[in-house]
């Protein structure tokens, strides 16, 4: 099922307008604060990056299309905070109870921010299924692209690649499977591959058919040819 956020190669969304090379990182001051509070809340350990991405995807189509980038971030964060019981709607409206929050001890301290950002959230894991594919091997992106574990769930397989033939470029190792992780079903690590596709196999009228697109795709997204 194609969702509003899965817009790669889709017609009707207007031209891509590149920003100037000297454009500021944050167009408005509140954009920086939206990023900061999202990262700070993520450090509380109540969800993972896949859950966070899925929260943005779950915004209503009307909101998703009219919201700016950081409006999507802050709106999805508000949803997560309420869904996970971290805050109430009254808290978000400034009407909640005062006092120290139960998660206060997990708050990211100012002197720990640089280290936390430098470390990131590595998704590589040991174990998991053995790799099925080798560099140079022809594969096909599975049909359909939908999450095979959760109806309407999160996945990193874009709709435009469904059914397309590509070639294994390299194996990245074993990584957490977003389709499972986003929904609290465990990490379910799988081999992750860089897969090379010719533009002409992805789009019927590619402006530069000789171009190549490289996608990072999990093993369960792929079928051998």
For residue 192, give both structure tokens: 């992750």
By residue count, the chain amounts to 225
Helix (H) / strand (E) containing 36: helix 29-42
pLDDT at site 9? 65
pLDDT at site 33? 96
The single residue listed with the structure tokens 């790669």 is: 8
The CA distance from 87 to 71, in Å, is: 19
Q: Where in the chain is the domain with CATH 2.30.30.50?
A: 138-224
DSSP H helices, 67-184, are 69-83, 89-92, 113-119, 178-181
Contact 162, 133 (CB under 8 A): no
Please report the sign of the dihedral spanned by the C-alpha atoms of residue 15, residue 156, residue 197, residue 121. positive
Q: Which CATH superfamily is domain 29-119 in?
A: Nitrile hydratase, beta subunit (1.10.472.20)
Sorting pLDDT into bands at 50, 70 and 90, what band is 49? very high
Buried b (16+ CB within 10 A) or exposed e, 154-180: bbbbbbbbbebbbbbbeeeebbbbbbb
Q: What's the mean pLDDT in 33-59? A: 95
Condensed to tens digits (0 to 9), the pLDDT of residues 191-221 reads 999 999 999 999 888 889 899 999 999 999 9
On the CB side of 220, how many CA atoms lie within 13 Å of its CA?
19
Sorting pLDDT into bands at 50, 70 and 90, what band is 102? confident
Spatial neighbors of 167 by CB under 8 A, at least 6 apart, are 136, 137, 138, 139, 195, 196
Judged against a pLDDT cut of 60, whether residue 1 lies above it is answered with no
The single residue listed with the structure tokens 């093993």 is: 219
- Phi/psi of residue 98, each to 5°? -85, 170
* Percent of the chain surpassing pLDDT 90: 75
Q: What's the mean pLDDT in 175-190? A: 98
pTM, entire model: 0.90
Condensed to tens digits (0 to 9), the pLDDT of residues 125-180 reads 999 999 999 999 999 999 998 999 999 999 999 999 999 999 999 999 999 999 99
What value does the mean pLDDT of the chain take?
92
The CA distance from 153 to 167, in Å, is: 26
Which of 122, 105, 90 has its CA nearest to residue 45? 105
Contact 120, 16 (CB under 8 A): no
Q: Where in the chain is the domain with CATH 1.10.472.20?
A: 29-119
The single residue listed with the structure tokens 């802050």 is: 74
Q: What is the CATH number of domain 138-224?
A: 2.30.30.50
Contact 170, 134 (CB under 8 A): no
């Amino acid at each position: 099922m194609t969702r509003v956020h899965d817009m790669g190669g889709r017609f009707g969304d207007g031209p891509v307008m590149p920003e100037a090379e000297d454009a500021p990182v944050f167009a408005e001051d509140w954009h920086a604060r939206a990023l900061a509070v999202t990262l700070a809340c993520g450090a509380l350990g109540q969800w993972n990056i896949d859950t966070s991405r899925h929260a943005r995807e779950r915004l209503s189509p009307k909101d998703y299309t009219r919201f700016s980038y950081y409006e999507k971030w802050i709106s999805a964060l508000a949803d997560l905070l309420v869904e996970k019981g971290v805050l109430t709607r009254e808290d978000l409206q400034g009407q909640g109870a005062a006092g120290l929050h139960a998660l206060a001890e997990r708050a990211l301290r100012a002197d720990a921010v640089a280290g936390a950002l430098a470390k990131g959230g590595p998704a590589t894991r040991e174990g998991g299924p053995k790799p099925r594919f080798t560099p140079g091997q022809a594969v096909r992106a599975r049909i359909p692209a939908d999450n095979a574990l959760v109806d309407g769930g999160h996945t990193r397989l874009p709709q435009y690649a469904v059914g397309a033939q590509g070639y294994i470029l390299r194996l990245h190792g074993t990584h957490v499977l977003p389709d499972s992780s986003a929904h609290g079903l465990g990490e379910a690590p799988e081999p992750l591959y860089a897969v090379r596709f010719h533009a002409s196999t992805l789009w019927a009228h590619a402006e530069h058919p000789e171009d190549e697109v490289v996608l990072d795709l999990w093993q369960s997204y792929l079928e051998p040819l």
